[in-house]
């Protein structure tokens, strides 16, 4: 489907080497004819697709020498005709050229509108479009990779196989319902139960991968706890490799939770330094303590820090009590202050000053955060996909119970169809306009 021309700057705001202005729609080449003068004798109308042409981009006071390329429908990102200009990467130049495309009839593209058109034109599935966003927003190596796999239709392919199998089951049900001799129906019910059971197991193994996928996307949340002056802020700085938290010798100065993001073996960890937990008459500090407790509650794991050069006391015990029940890494810090090997029940001994034990601590964070390394491929990273798969699984479980309870086949068929529809929300076939709008509203303009 060829729609009106939309245009946007595809490169980020700011100064850079090059900026790209993208126009997609029914006639971007005709528009380019009015604002691009190719070098030499070539005419815009004779442009070969997918070839860069140098020339002058005419945009009044914002004219520039640059490049123009034409992508011919349907072999383009959106599935429509696309023209892109490359100009010098100044914000004003790019905006001036963009405005010229508006004067010549293009309309400003909305958020994610290019990708939305690509989806509507069948260039990619809805899940794949979400993968594009995950790649763009991805911070860690694992997140970008998971986004890439989603974008490459790896999840969609799996889901389509499930959908095809459900369709076969549904076709069988239709045949039996159309020829309702009782024996056939009962026989048929017995036949489909194993199929439905197997498909439910496949769906469940996919939903299980969300436990890791969720952490890949959001990061593992780590609360660093311990009484004041044990070296929590210093350890955080060591882990992050730069000075983020304020380090101070006066006990109780880290009042706010300081966040820093760290990548360990390609996976994201969000670290929170908590205020020193101790009895305090100071109001600001007690607010900090409440906040620390809230962070601990929502953390995936806790790093408990004690000072190896001091005696473990009641205050340490109180902190340990607060973090009880959470996956825990016990750290004894300031090893540089002790001359002898000290026996402790710590998981790791560190020194934020010399860096001793920091790599071990990172390895422990990874181990406790993710457990087994696991298969890196095709994790579910989107909550939307997880929920759709869960609903599909629930519908199939209902269908299986109905089979076992001797329900009529057409009723069983309704549950199976519901499962198919839930899976279609992932690929986009059954996604409502509201879901589609919501997904593309999270994109940036120009994508």
Nearest approach, Cβ of residue 270 and ligand GDP (Å) = 17
Stretch that binds ligand GDP, among 11-19, 180-188, 196-204, 347-355 (CB under 6 A): 347-355
Cβ proximity to ligand GDP, 76 vs 351, nearer residue: 351
| Residue 334 engages ligand GDP in binding (rule: CB under 6 A) | yes
Q: What is the CA angle 161-388-197, rounded to 5?
A: 55
**Residue 361: helix, strand or coil by DSSP?**
helix
Cβ proximity to ligand GDP, 307 vs 415, nearer residue: 307
Stretch that binds ligand GDP, among 14-22, 44-52, 230-238, 421-429 (CB under 6 A): 230-238
Stretch that binds ligand GDP, among 10-18, 41-49, 140-148, 221-229 (CB under 6 A): 221-229
Containing H/E element for 259?
Answer: strand 258-264
Nearest approach, Cβ of residue 321 and ligand GDP (Å) = 18
- The number of residues that bind ligand GDP (CB under 6 A) is 20
Nearest approach, Cβ of residue 310 and ligand GDP (Å) = 11
**Residue 57, strand partner residues:** 36, 64
Nearest approach, Cβ of residue 314 and ligand GDP (Å) = 17
Cβ proximity to ligand GDP, 120 vs 251, nearer residue: 251
Contacts of 421 (CB under 8 A, 6+ apart): 430
- Contact status, residue 426 vs residue 155, Cβ threshold 8 Å: yes
Exactly one of 259, 336, 394, 429 binds ligand GDP (CB under 6 A); which one? 336
Contacts of 149 (CB under 8 A, 6+ apart): 131, 155, 377, 378, 379
Exactly one of 2, 120, 193, 247 binds ligand GDP (CB under 6 A); which one? 247
Residues 261-320 that bind ligand GDP (CB under 6 A): 276
Q: Mind giving me the DSSP string for 308-340?
A: TTS---HHHHHHHHHTTTS-EEEEEE-GGG-SS
Cβ proximity to ligand GDP, 221 vs 234, nearer residue: 234
**Residue 62: helix, strand or coil by DSSP?**
helix
Cβ proximity to ligand GDP, 30 vs 353, nearer residue: 353
User: Nearest to residue 13, comparing CAs of 84, 98, 101?
Assistant: 98
Q: How far is CA 137 from the centre of its chain?
A: 7
Residues 353-412 that bind ligand GDP (CB under 6 A): 353
| Residue 233 engages ligand GDP in binding (rule: CB under 6 A) | yes
Cβ proximity to ligand GDP, 11 vs 234, nearer residue: 234
Q: Mind giving me the DSSP string for 92-154?
A: HHHHHHHHHHHHTT-EE--BTHHHHHHHHTTSS-HHHHHHHHHHHH--SHHHHHHHHHHHTTH
- How far apart CA 268 and CA 134 sit, in angstroms, is 14
Exactly one of 5, 156, 209, 234 binds ligand GDP (CB under 6 A); which one? 234
| Residue 115 engages ligand GDP in binding (rule: CB under 6 A) | no
Query: Is the backbone of residue 87 left (phi > 0), alpha (psi -120 to 50) or beta?
Result: beta
- How far apart CA 223 and CA 374 sit, in angstroms, is 24
- Which residues of the chain form contacts with ligand GDP (CB under 6 A)? 226, 228-234, 247-249, 254, 276, 333-334, 336-337, 351-353
């Amino acid at each position: 489907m060829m729609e009106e021309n939309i245009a946007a700057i595809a490169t980020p705001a700011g100064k850079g080497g090059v900026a790209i202005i993208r126009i997609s729609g029914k006639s971007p080449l005709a528009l380019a004819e009015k604002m691009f003068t190719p070098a030499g004798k070539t005419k815009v109308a004779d442009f070969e697709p997918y070839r860069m042409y140098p020339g002058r981009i005419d945009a009044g006071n914002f004219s520039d020498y640059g490049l123009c390329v034409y992508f011919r429908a349907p072999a383009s990102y959106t599935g429509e005709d696309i023209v892109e200009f490359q100009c010098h990467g100044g914000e004003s130049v790019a905006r001036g050229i963009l405005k010229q495309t508006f004067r010549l009839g293009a309309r400003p593209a909305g958020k994610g509108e290019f990708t939305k058109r690509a989806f509507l034109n069948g260039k990619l599935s809805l899940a794949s479009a979400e993968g594009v966003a995950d790649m763009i927003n991805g911070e860690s190596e694992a997140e970008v990779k998971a986004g890439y796999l989603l974008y490459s239709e790896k999840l969609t392919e799996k889901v389509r196989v499930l959908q095809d199998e459900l369709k076969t089951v549904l076709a069988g049900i239709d045949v039996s319902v159309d020829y309702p001799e009782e024996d056939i129906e009962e026989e048929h019910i017995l036949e489909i139960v194993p199929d439905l059971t197997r498909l439910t197991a496949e769906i469940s193994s996919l939903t299980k991968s969300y436990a890791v996928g969720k952490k890949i996307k959001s990061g593992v949340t780590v609360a660093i706890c311990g009484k004041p002056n044990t070296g929590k802020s210093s350890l955080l700085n060591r882990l992050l490799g730069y000075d983020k938290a304020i380090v101070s010798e006066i006990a109780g100065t880290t009042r706010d939770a300081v966040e820093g993001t760290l990548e360990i073996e390609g996976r994201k960890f969000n670290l929170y330094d908590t205020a020193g937990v101790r009895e305090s008459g100071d109001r600001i500090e007690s607010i900090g303590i409440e906040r620390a407790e809230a962070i601990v509650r929502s953390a995936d794991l806790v790093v408990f820090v004690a000072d190896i050069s001091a005696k473990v006391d009641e205050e340490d015990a109180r902190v340990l009590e607060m973090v009880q029940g959470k996956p825990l890494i016990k750290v004894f810090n300031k090893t540089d202050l002790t001359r002898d090997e000290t026996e402790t029940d710590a998981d790791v001994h560190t020194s934020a000053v010399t860096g001793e034990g920091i790599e071990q601590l990172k390895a422990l964070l990874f181990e406790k955060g993710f457990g087994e390394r696991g298969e890196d491929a095709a994790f579910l990273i989107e909550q939307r996909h997880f929920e759709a798969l869960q609903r599909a699984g629930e519908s199939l479980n209902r269908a299986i119970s109905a089979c076992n309870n001797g329900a009529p086949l057409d009723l069983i068929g309704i549950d199976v169809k519901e499962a198919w529809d839930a899976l279609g929300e992932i690929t986009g076939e059954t996604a409502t306009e509201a879901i589609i709008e919501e997904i593309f509203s999270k994109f940036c303009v120009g994508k």
